[in-house]
Amino acid sequence: MAAEKQGQKIAVEIKSFLSPSKITELYAALGQFIIYRIALQKQEANRTLYLAVPSTVYNEFFILPFIQSVIKSNQLCLLIYNIEQETIAEWQI
């Protein structure tokens, strides 16, 4: 999904993490994210890619120290969304 946030062009890869194995979901999401980011750099270098994850998954899984190191090492920009309220809870760059 392509959009603008405060005048900045962004793209968002939305993931639900419904599988029982969150690490397997992260493995797939991270691979897609890296491929999409490389493609965007070639086609729209001024667009920032975000990985969107549900707030429940973020609060239970993404806060783990190992997962935080994966996020930092791969320079993931996160969009954390609230499923019930259908709102964006947080942006992390």
What is the tens place of the pLDDT at every residue in 28-59?
A: 999 999 999 999 999 988 899 999 999 999 99
Chain mean position to CA 69: 14
The pTM for the full model equals 0.87
- pLDDT at residue 2 is higher than 60: no
Nearest to 1 by CA among 75, 10, 55, 21: 10
Q: What ranges do the domains of the chain cover?
A: 2-92
Write the DSSP assignment of 4-66 as a string of letters.
Answer: EETTEEEEEEE----SS-HHHHHHHHHHHHHHHHHHHHHH-TTPEEEEEEEHHHIIIIITSHH
Q: What pLDDT is stored for residue 5 in this prediction?
A: 61
Fold category of 2-92 in CATH? Trna Endonuclease; Chain: A, domain 1 (3.40.1350)
- Percent of the residues in the chain that have a pLDDT greater than 90, as a whole number: 83
